[in-house]
Structure 1
Amino acid sequence: MSTTNLQPSSLNQTTSFIETSTAFFNLTYGNHSAGGRELQRKSASSLGRWTDFEMYRYTFWSIVLFIVATGIIGNVLQFIMMGDTKLNHLSYSVYLKFLSVSDSLLLSINLLSETNKVFPIQYAIPVYIGILSFALRVLAGILSPWLVVGLTLDRYICICFPLKRQILCTKKKAIAVCSAMLVVSGVLLMPFPVSMGVVKNRCFPPEGITSYYNFILLLFSSILPCLFILVLNILIITQIQRSRYFRSSFTTSTASRPQDNSTRPLVLVSVLAFVTLVPVAVSKAVQISLEQLDRHLDGQALHQNVRTILFMIYLLNFGQNFYILIASSSNYREIIKRRLACCSLKWKLRRQQSQSVVTQSSHTSGSGSGSAGLSVASIRE
């Protein structure tokens, strides 16, 4: 992240301040004002950067557009799939529904941000829109990894403590946990909109706000959730291997008690979330460490060569869950086929009903006009 200037920002500079302050979620450009681009080019040339990403901004935007579009489509299908009667009462369906909404929100905001950088808006952006965009991005960025932690913890209890499953892994408790995560994420976010001052269409960010959000985003959206996901998955996989060894020691046949069909796909969702979150967390930690060791060193410029790749990997985390589920389980493939067929049938029935209503109303109006004509003719006679 480049060093943020905490001077008063004009109305159309609010978004620029926010983009610079939240470079943790936007590892590609940083501040894209004319001076910012010139400073970035100078820093990059002084460090011997091997490529100029400005030449490929349209290609990069196209890739981001593809990732976001496929991710949002997958999240919508995941939400529909989790509404099936076989899954709706299960606890993990709640986590996946919350993830569908949170991930889609974050993907949309990132796409709007990247689009504004490639095709900049020429008119002034109101202060409240910039603050709202920042708030939603940080909220979703903190909430999504912790929802994966909740999902992983749910699987850990089901596998390692199966007797507690009916007590702890219920739909109501999952809703309570997800709601609590949402509230905590909002509390962590609250200092920014509360402390932000707006005077005469100028936005005054308080001193120290960038350091606060560096700490919050690095700790609560990367380091801690990644640590929990890693530890829980190690315990889950270890318990699965122990269970297989235990069952194999008491049976001579290859047939054994089947595992829960949801175990492997959900563990894969958790593991791949860890894989896509770790590179960004490591890069951000290295960047902040370099900047703290040498105040005159631009850690953001040092990571220019890899930041674009890390950003795309980071975006994949918020659009991959549905595709992991259907690729790893035939059960989920059958469910989504049935759900889509059911939705298509309902849509056709509603369309037929609306057409029949229109037809009946037209017939009624036609018969009414015909009878009125007959009455007029009889009066004339």
Structure 2
Amino acid sequence: MNSTWLGLVLSTTESLFNNDTLMEEITEEEDEEDVNEWFDFEIQGKIYMTCILIIASLGVVGNVMSFILMSDAKLRSLAYSVYLRWMAVSDSLLLMMVAAEDTLDTYHYLQRFLTSDVTLCKVWVFFLTMTYTLSPWLVVALTLDRFVCVVFPLSRHRLCTKSKAFKLCLTLTLISAALNVYSLIYIDIEDAECLVQSPDQMEGYLLIQQLVLNSILPCAAVLILNIVTVIRIRRSATFRQQFKRSGGSEATKERQDKITLPLLLVSIFAFVTLIPRAVTEVTEYVLDVFQEHDGMTMELANKLWPLFNLIYLVNFGQNFYILMASSSEYRLILRRKLTWHKDNRNTSSAQTQSSRMSSEFSEISVSKMTDSRSVTSGDTTLMSSLPVTEPGI
């Protein structure tokens, strides 16, 4: 009797366990189906290439306009204009290379282009990786410049100068080049592909560079500096509202805030566009390290990566549009600069037309003088040919 009851219990437990296992498998399959339904919009192929071309085109145009804007006489002597001009050049180079690379890859000409010459392969990868490293740190430098101006205003004239900004940008460029010099050494052509032939010890370095130096560290620096700067600006605004002093200094402080806020928006939007791809890369790395082969998570990350990469590329072409949307002063400077160029063209064309008319008038005057001289000489000749008669007595 007891054995029969025990067997019944075991059989019942086994059936319940099998049912639970079956239910878990069904639930996992439903979750996977839900994920596939939610993320069935995967961006790839020519749609992805078109999005990149649009972002690159608008970004390069915006960077050119940003360079022109920051070259204005009122702005080019300021430190932050150096950072924005340097970013315009670096970001434009990156966007053009990414657009060319993805276009060639879509039509299966990328490896044929890169493997046509080993020097081209090395130089291409070197400049691409260097700009990927340089651009986030230029945003950090711009954010640090605003941080010093707001938090340490007495040191602003000593630290936030044009010469120091130029030296910092040059130093960041040289460091970025040094960090990516491996591409000139270890990259080679193998099996008709441009690949990194790095030793095993280089894998850890490349991982640290990609995750830490290019993503996590600059994002953390921008976030912390912006938080402190915004808190200080809010405290200063509250203090000025409670204790208003002279109108001149008050107007100067308000003008400085109007200049600082658009630049803060540049660094904040840079953080917003950099963080999605950084989080995706860190997630993939953590799953790989702990060998958590979660198929659903990896599939989700792979499907979202193109979208996050597009958001990431927006960072390299958004500065000009942020400045125009957030500041009337920058819009006024750009309008005045474009009007000045138009007036110069009109003035030069008017001067050309005036000089042309004066030359034509001179030619007409000379021709008239020549005709009058010829008529005078003809009359003189006629008078000399007439007979001379003596006056009568």
TM-score range, shorter chain: 0.7 to 0.9
Say whether residues 1:326 and 2:324 are aligned partners. yes
Corresponding residue for residue 315 of structure 1: 313
Taking a change above 3 Å as real, the CA distance of residues 266 and 48 of structure 1, as seen in their structure-2 partners, is closer
Instruction: Indicate if the aligned counterparts of 2:55 and 2:313 stay in contact, CA closer than 8 A.
Output: yes
The two structures have a TM-score, normalised by structure 2, of: 0.72
User: Which of the pair is proportionally richer in helix?
Assistant: 2
Q: What letter is aligned with 2:233?
A: I
Say whether residues 1:205 and 2:208 are aligned partners. no
Q: State the structure with bigger RCO (CA 8 A, min sep 6), 1 or 2.
A: 1
Q: SS in structure 1 opposite 2:287? A: helix
Deviations along 1:286-330, whole A, 9 cap, x unmatched?
111112222877886451221121011101111110000010000
Taking a change above 3 Å as real, the CA distance of residues 307 and 358 of structure 1, as seen in their structure-2 partners, is farther
Instruction: Indicate if the aligned counterparts of 1:91 and 1:174 stay in contact, CA closer than 8 A.
Output: yes
2:56 counterpart (49, 52, 68): 68
1:216 counterpart (209, 218, 221): 209
Q: Give 1:129 shift.
A: 2.0
- 1:83-98 matches, cutoff 5 A: 83-98=71-86
Q: Give 1:186 shift.
A: 0.7
For the residues of structure 2 that align with 1:106 and 1:113, how far apart are their CA atoms? 10
Corresponding residue for residue 366 of structure 2: none
Corresponding residue for residue 149 of structure 2: 158
Taking a change above 3 Å as real, the CA distance of residues 154 and 49 of structure 1, as seen in their structure-2 partners, is same
Taking a change above 3 Å as real, the CA distance of residues 200 and 351 of structure 1, as seen in their structure-2 partners, is farther
Q: What letter is aligned with 2:212?
A: L
Say whether residues 1:234 and 2:231 are aligned partners. no
Q: Give 1:249 shift.
A: 2.0
Q: Is there any run of 5+ residues in structure 1 with no aligned partner, and where?
A: 1-44, 365-381
Q: Give 1:217 shift.
A: 1.8
Corresponding residue for residue 6 of structure 1: none
Aligned length: 319
Q: Is there any run of 5+ residues in structure 2 with no aligned partner, and where?
A: 1-31, 364-393
Say whether residues 1:99 and 2:96 are aligned partners. no
RMSD: 3.5
For the residues of structure 1 that align with 2:355 and 2:123, how far apart are their CA atoms? 43
Q: What letter is aligned with 2:224?
A: V
Corresponding residue for residue 277 of structure 2: 280
1:270 counterpart (251, 267, 276): 267
Give % identity.
36
Say whether residues 1:248 and 2:245 are aligned partners. no
Deviations along 1:141-160, whole A, 9 cap, x unmatched?
11111111111111011111
Deviations along 1:184-205, whole A, 9 cap, x unmatched?
1011011231234579999771
Instruction: Indicate if the aligned counterparts of 1:49 and 1:305 stay in contact, CA closer than 8 A.
Output: no
Instruction: Indicate if the aligned counterparts of 1:127 and 1:201 stay in contact, CA closer than 8 A.
Output: no
Q: Give 1:353 shift.
A: 8.0
For the residues of structure 2 that align with 1:331 and 1:127, how far apart are their CA atoms? 49
1:173 counterpart (144, 164, 168): 164
Q: SS in structure 2 opposite 1:303? A: helix
User: Comparing 300-309 with 288-297, which one deviates more in the overlay?
Assistant: 288-297
Say whether residues 1:289 and 2:281 are aligned partners. no
For the residues of structure 2 that align with 1:94 and 1:55, how far apart are their CA atoms? 36
For the residues of structure 1 that align with 2:179 and 2:196, how far apart are their CA atoms? 20
Q: SS in structure 2 opposite 1:63? A: helix
For the residues of structure 1 that align with 2:353 and 2:210, how far apart are their CA atoms? 53
Taking a change above 3 Å as real, the CA distance of residues 354 and 212 of structure 1, as seen in their structure-2 partners, is farther
Q: Give 1:233 shift.
A: 0.5
For the residues of structure 2 that align with 1:337 and 1:164, how far apart are their CA atoms? 33
Taking a change above 3 Å as real, the CA distance of residues 52 and 244 of structure 1, as seen in their structure-2 partners, is closer
User: Comparing 332-341 with 84-93, which one deviates more in the overlay?
Assistant: 332-341
Corresponding residue for residue 136 of structure 2: 145
Instruction: Indicate if the aligned counterparts of 2:121 and 2:188 stay in contact, CA closer than 8 A.
Output: no
Taking a change above 3 Å as real, the CA distance of residues 222 and 358 of structure 1, as seen in their structure-2 partners, is farther
User: Comparing 204-213 with 160-169, which one deviates more in the overlay?
Assistant: 204-213
For the residues of structure 2 that align with 1:295 and 1:125, how far apart are their CA atoms? 40
User: Comparing 199-208 with 54-63, which one deviates more in the overlay?
Assistant: 199-208
Q: What letter is aligned with 1:316?
A: V
Q: Give 1:350 shift.
A: 6.4
Higher Cα radius of gyration: 2
Deviations along 1:58-94, whole A, 9 cap, x unmatched?
2222121111111110000000000001101000000
User: Comparing 279-288 with 202-211, which one deviates more in the overlay?
Assistant: 202-211
